[in-house]
Amino acid sequence: MVESTAIELVSKDVPAHVTKGTGLGNEEVGKDHLQTPRVKLIQTMSNEVDPNHSEYIEGLVPGNFINSVTKENYGTEMYVLNIKFTEDFVVWKKREIGGGLVGNFKSLAEATDYLTSQDLDVEQHDIIQTQSHLLMQKDAKTGMLGIPFIMDFASSKLRVSRSWNSQIQTKGGDRFASLWKVKSVQTANKVGQKFMNLSVDFEGWSTEEDYLEAKKLYETL
């Protein structure tokens, strides 16, 4: 009887040839070829907590933040530097006609004009005001800044976004000169339905090292 031989397909530890690599093969990859991760706040009805859904992620619970690209679970709170703010009006087909993203526009009028110009029924589409914050997470254990990601605020989260902007401007300095704690909190709408929302609190001023790294990112935008 011939004994089977286990083949090592991957290295469990980061090998020397990786740490010494210079990114060969990525010469033509620019920032326009990369996907900026988004952070999603998990709700009770999210696909990621449904064991029967293809997007299910074991161990997730409502209130967790996850990375849309890596699927990393950040838990229920994060420390972040806020790099840049943008606002768009995002047009979606209504679910009853199939759903799907139509496009992003800089104003409500621009979004409406586009639908009209394409002979699309405005009543069959949702135009969602969306405020986006580009963030860098600071690891509470290592103190290191991570890969930047975007956190979107729409509907009930818009009030949190506006409050955050107001706090940043009141503190003064550059947008990324301060460190913030973002935490999931349970709240309820006018009819008593519970859902997860956010709270944002000032933790202090960013270190000079973090500030310079954040500024470097900002200058590439």
Q: Is residue 79 part of a domain?
A: yes
pLDDT class of 35 with cuts at 50, 70, 90: confident
Residue 125 pLDDT exceeds 50:
yes
Residue-wise DSSP of 114-181: HHHHTT--GGGEEEEEEEEEEEEEB-TTT--B---EEEEEEGGGHHHHHHHHHHHHHH-S-GGGEEEE
pLDDT class of 11 with cuts at 50, 70, 90: low
Q: Which structural domain range is residue 138 located in?
A: 35-220
Task: Please give the tally of structural domains in the chain.
Answer: 1
Q: Which pLDDT value is given to residue 7?
A: 56
Q: Is residue 68 part of a domain?
A: yes
Residues 177-193, mean pLDDT to the nearest whole number:
94
Residues 131-160, mean pLDDT to the nearest whole number:
96
- Mean of pLDDT over the chain: 91
Task: Find, among 141, 132, 139, 217, the residue nearest to 176 by Cα.
Answer: 217
pLDDT class of 1 with cuts at 50, 70, 90: very low
For the segment 202-220, what is each residue's pLDDT rounded down to a tens digit? 999 999 999 999 999 999 9
Beta carbons of 211 and 173 less than 8 angstroms apart? no
Residue 10 pLDDT exceeds 70:
no
Q: Which pLDDT value is given to residue 205?
A: 96
Distances (CA, A) of 106 to 30, 110, 164, 184, 194: 25, 7, 21, 28, 31
Q: Is residue 134 part of a domain?
A: yes
Q: Is residue 122 part of a domain?
A: yes
Residues 168-195, mean pLDDT to the nearest whole number:
95
Rounded to whole angstroms, how far apart are CA atoms 123 and 108? 14
Residues 104-124, mean pLDDT to the nearest whole number:
96
Residue 17 pLDDT exceeds 90:
no
Can you give the CATH number for the domain in which 207 is found? Answer: 3.90.198
Q: Is residue 28 part of a domain?
A: no
Beta carbons of 66 and 57 less than 8 angstroms apart? yes
Residue 66 pLDDT exceeds 80:
yes
For residues 202, 203, 207 and 211, what is the CA-based torsion angle, rounded to 10 degrees? -30
Q: Is residue 101 part of a domain?
A: yes
